Amino acid sequence: MGGYLGDNLEHTYINRVRAFEAVRRDPDTVFDVWQVHSADVICTDVPRSNNDPHEKADAILTNNPEITLFMRFADCVPILFFDPVKRVVGLAHAGWQGTVKRIVTATVNKMVSIYGCSPTHIRAGIGPSIAAHHYEVGLDVAKRVRGVFNDQADSILSIKNGSIYFDLWEANRHLLTETGINQVEMSGLCTACHPQEWFSHRGEKGKTGRFGALIALNG
C-alpha cells in the first residue's frame, strides 16, 4: 500500500485505511512516527490521533493489542519484532544511517528494559528492502560501516568494478543476532528488483512513493 510523494493526502489516507481494513484492524488504532534515520525508540500504549503531531523516531513498540504500529518504506529495511512470551510487538526503520546507529540494537534493549523481554524469546523479521547488489555507497559510508562492524565489515561490504555495495540485510541480521536473538527471518525481497510490487527510491530514481508495514497483537 502507499501513494506517490506529492500525492493528494486524502488518497494516501484512503490507501492506509484500505490496508488496515484488509488485515481487520481499525485505522483509528494507528501509531506512527516521523522517521528521521535515528536510533530513537518510542514505546506507546495509546494510538496517535490525526490531530496529534508525529513524534520523531525510527522504532516503535507496544504491548497493547488495541494499537497498530505503522511505518513507511521505499528501500530502507523494515524490521518487525514479536515476543510471544511478554506479548510485545515492534517495528523499526533502518536505512544505512539507522543501521550504523544500531537502531535494531536500541529496539531490543528497549524491549528488555521496558517490557522485561528476553532476546531468546524475540522473533525478528527483515522485510522487503533494497538488496546489496543495488545499494552502492560512497567511501564515507563504507568508513562508517567499518567503524561499527569491524571484522564483520568484509561480509557486509563488497566491491565490484570499483564500486562499494552495502548489504543492509546482513548488517541488520548481524546486529540482531549480536543482541542474543536467534530467530531471524529474511524476506529476501529486493525493492529495486521488483518496483511493480514495492516502491524503490533508488530503483525509481526518487520519483516514487512509500509502502506501509504494520504489526499488531491479536486481542
User: Residue 65 maps to which CATH number?
Assistant: 3.60.140.10
Domain contains 190: yes
Q: Which helix (H) or strand (E) holds 175?
A: helix 168-178
Torsion angle of the four alpha carbons 175, 74, 82, 33, in this order, in degrees rounded to the nearest 10: 100
Q: Is residue 134 part of a domain?
A: no
Question: Coil, helix or strand for 137?
Answer: strand
Would residue 199 count as lying in a domain? yes
Is residue 160 domain-resident? no
- What local confidence, expressed as pLDDT, does residue 3 receive? 46
How far apart CA 123 and CA 185 sit, in angstroms, is: 8
Decide if 10 is inside a domain: yes
Q: Model confidence over 73-98: pLDDT tens digits?
A: 989 999 999 999 999 999 999 999 99
Whether 167 has a pLDDT exceeding 60, the answer reads yes
Q: Which domain range does residue 80 map to?
A: 2-129+183-215
Domain count, the chain: 1
The tens digit of pLDDT for each residue in 136-156 reads 999 999 999 999 999 999 999
- Position 1 confidence tier, pLDDT thresholds 50, 70, 90: very low
Q: What is the pTM of this model?
A: 0.91
Q: Is residue 68 in a domain?
A: yes
Residues 140, 146, 148, 151: what is their CA dihedral angle, to the nearest 10 degrees? Answer: 180
138 domain-assigned:
no
> Does any domain span residue 38?
yes
Confidence check: pLDDT of 52 > 60: yes
